[in-house]
Amino acid sequence: MYVFVYGTLKRGGALHEHLAGQRFVDCGRTVTDYRLYRLDWFPGLVEASHPDKGVAIHGEVWDVDEATLGVLDVVEEVGSGLYERQLIRLQAPFDRVEVIAYFYRGDVHGCSDNGDRW
């Protein structure tokens, strides 16, 4: 399964160790349907509130196995509803590939916009 990471899971990030043993595919960018916010020491990716308010977020695409996907679900607190795993739309060469990402599900009101990268 391909996973798009955009923050602390990227190479050099505080949580990158959870991708140990997985295959880095390439750097990638989303289509311009998303926003990235600084929540604290970590970012939150959300769908833009309006199509013309999104930006192309920079990140990395990783090929991960099912066991690692389970670990990432725990790290991203999917069970608590903090993040949700869902499909994300990327630009070429990943525009015809199924890729997932972790989307923040909390309120971003008052959070700093982080532009197009973490």
The residues annotated as belonging to the active site are: 76
Whether the ω angle into residue 93 lies within 30 degrees of 0, i.e. cis, is: yes
- CA proximity to 89, closest of 32, 43, 51: 32
Q: Which structure tokens are listed for 118?
A: 């973490």
Query: Cα 11 to the chain's mean position, in Å?
Result: 13
